[in-house]
Amino acid sequence: MTTVAASAYDTLHEHFRQIHLLEGTAAILSWDQETMMPAGGVAFRGEQLAQLAGLGHRRRTDPKLGELLAAAADSLEGDEQAPARVNLREWNRDRERAMKLPAELVEEFARVSSTAQHEWAEARRDSDFARFKPWLEKLLELNRRKAECLGWDRAGGEPWDALGDLYEPGLSAKDIESVFTPLASRLRALIAEIASAPKRPDDRFDRLELPEAQQEAFVRFVADAIGFDFSRGRLDRSTHPFCGGSHRNDVRLTTRFRSNLTLDALGSTMHECGHGIYEQGLSAEHLGTPMGEAASLSVHESQSRLWENQVGRSQPFWRWLTPKLDGFFGSAVAGLDAAAMYGAANRVEPGFIRVEADEATYNLHIMIRFDLERRMLRGDLAVDDLPAAWNEHYRNYLGLEVPDDRRGCLQDVHWSMGAMGYFPTYTLGTMMSAGLFEAAERAMPGLAEGLARGEFGPLREWLVANVHAHGRRHRFRELYQLVVGEAFSADPLLRYLEGKLRPLHGI
């Protein structure tokens, strides 16, 4: 590396560090809005977030960047996988994307989505789609403009592709469809098998009414035990659970509680812990550069789903946790053994709410959302017709009559945040989580027995070494191949689900 190159690279490093600081500030403001901010702050907060988005965007599109990036690229030597080369590649990608978006659109997007989230929360509470409708229309319009600016393959593509690429680089709607279609038929077959199965798991625990304070102590204990570091993060409550925060040393999870949904609170908490453990596991050395950032949203979801499902719905986990229940819930849980808890954690039953869904039906919820947002973006589905289309899908995919929009198309926060193109990452991540867990079991033969003793460190460290440490070095499929040792597919997920759910239902 010559001195000139070092200098160009160092200048870029500092430039992007400043962007990272701004984005961290915006992330804290967004977290604050969902957890702490009084209602009166909504309009001003939208302006603050728009300002920060604009400041970040102007830095990403700074005219001097092109020259600096070229100067640094010309003179950096070594492996394409070397951190500085990876950073340059990703800085270029981020810049190219930003250059396509006018600052005015970026600011308007931040402003509208901030207010829309508040309107969504109110609309959801009252099951009042009419209240949210104008905001969804604005966000759809902004997303379509964004897709136009970003562009997509006009020959065989569609607007969704440009947005999906923001969350999972390089995957088009057609790619996702080709993954989802066969997966859907296998899952529907499994759900049908289970519906007519001779046996149903014991679900007593899931019918208990347990005080929220006890539930909170319980999920905090589990979060700490599986390795979420509370000296570098926190856990609060919000309408919709999420993982926010500004960097690896300040990671903010939220969860939610209802008296009769203790396993939902646990699952949500473990899910967000998976995101949080990923963030906390990112490289300290590369903080503020792409090598210190999460690879993609699908990889992020692979981490959350792995802790939620492969760990939190496993036999070893419940062998470890069941004897501890008494300390949190006392006599209410008398007579529940590890087998009963494992059963309750794996009850399959089609329901209205995605985040409460069992593992067999979960991905159908995702497929419904993917189809609807794709059609809205293409212009084939008007926002006016969304509730009816949503309800029709729930009838066809899950055999359910949606009773109201609160339990229908108002349930998820994502569209109100302006995030269209996000949902498929949950299923891609779920598929990856199964592949990763198989690889972890191959790499650590005593893994299951360790989990049954509450030893979560080895799994966490394996994930840090094999996934977190790479930052944005690899694309999703490339990382999958590298860590799992085979091409990305639904096979591990289907092996895992069929292998677990059939015996539990006496099939």
Kindly tell me which residue out of 6, 7, 15, 25 binds its own copies, with binding defined by CB under 8 A. Answer: 25
CB burial string 498-507: b at 16+ within 10 A, e below: bebbeebbee
Strand partners, 236: 254
Active site residue 272: yes
Among the listed residues 119, 168, 272, 438, the single catalytic one is 272
Quick check: 21 binds its own copies (CB under 8 A)? Answer: yes
Q: How far is the CB of 30 from its own copies (least distance, A)?
A: 11
Q: Which is nearer to its own copies, 231 or 331 (CB)?
A: 231
Q: Which is nearer to its own copies, 196 or 231 (CB)?
A: 231
Quick check: 250 binds its own copies (CB under 8 A)? Answer: yes
Quick check: 464 binds its own copies (CB under 8 A)? Answer: no
Kindly tell me which residue out of 95, 247, 300, 365 binds its own copies, with binding defined by CB under 8 A. Answer: 247
Q: Which is nearer to its own copies, 25 or 92 (CB)?
A: 25
CB burial string 438-462: b at 16+ within 10 A, e below: bbbeeeeeebeebbbeebbeebbeb
Quick check: 211 binds its own copies (CB under 8 A)? Answer: no
240 half-sphere exposure, CB direction, 13 A CA radius: 21
Q: What does DSSP say about strands 243-247 and 250-255: parallel, antiparallel, or unpaired? A: antiparallel
Dihedrals φ, ψ of 260, to 5°?
A: -105, 15
Q: Which is nearer to its own copies, 212 or 349 (CB)?
A: 212
Kindly tell me which residue out of 133, 186, 188, 232 binds its own copies, with binding defined by CB under 8 A. Answer: 232
Segment interacting with its own copies (CB under 8 A) among 139-147, 227-235, 330-338, 372-380: 227-235
Q: Which is nearer to its own copies, 24 or 458 (CB)?
A: 24
- The answer to whether residues 265 and 255 touch, using CB atoms and an 8 Å cutoff, is yes
Q: Which is nearer to its own copies, 250 or 441 (CB)?
A: 250
Quick check: 51 binds its own copies (CB under 8 A)? Answer: yes
Quick check: 103 binds its own copies (CB under 8 A)? Answer: no
Strand partners, 254: 236
| C-alpha 150 chain-centroid distance | 23
Q: In what order do the strands lie in the sheet with 233-237?
A: 233-237, 250-255, 243-247
Kindly tell me which residue out of 200, 234, 407, 502 binds its own copies, with binding defined by CB under 8 A. Answer: 234
Quickly count: other Cβ atoms within 10 Å of residue 279's Cβ: 26
Residue 54's nearest CA partner among 27, 26, 96, 31 is 26
174 half-sphere exposure, CB direction, 13 A CA radius: 7
Tokens of 448: 């299951």
User: What's the CA angle centered on 424, arms 265 and 99, to 5 degrees?
Assistant: 115
Q: How far is the CB of 140 from its own copies (least distance, A)?
A: 27
d(CA 371, CA 450): 41
Within 26-45, the residues that bind its own copies by CB under 8 A are 28-29, 32, 36-41, 43-45
Segment interacting with its own copies (CB under 8 A) among 49-57, 77-85, 155-163, 199-207: 49-57
Q: Which is nearer to its own copies, 29 or 270 (CB)?
A: 29
- The answer to whether residues 180 and 364 touch, using CB atoms and an 8 Å cutoff, is no
Provide Rg for the chain, Cα atoms.
23
Q: Name the residue type at position 323.
A: P
Tokens of 200: 């149903």
d(CA 123, CA 136): 12
Q: How far is the CB of 37 from its own copies (least distance, A)?
A: 6
Kindly tell me which residue out of 18, 81, 259, 396 binds its own copies, with binding defined by CB under 8 A. Answer: 18
Within 129-188, the residues that bind its own copies by CB under 8 A are none
Q: How far is the CB of 392 from its own copies (least distance, A)?
A: 39
d(CA 233, CA 16): 24
SS3 for 289? coil
Q: How far is the CB of 472 from its own copies (least distance, A)?
A: 20
Kindly tell me which residue out of 164, 227, 233, 241 binds its own copies, with binding defined by CB under 8 A. Answer: 233
Kindly tell me which residue out of 10, 70, 230, 487 binds its own copies, with binding defined by CB under 8 A. Answer: 230
Quick check: 112 binds its own copies (CB under 8 A)? Answer: no
| Active centre residues (catalytic) | 272
The residues of the shown chain that bind its own copies, judged by CB under 8 A, are: 18, 21-22, 24-25, 28-29, 32, 36-41, 43-45, 47-48, 51-52, 55, 229-234, 246-247, 249-250
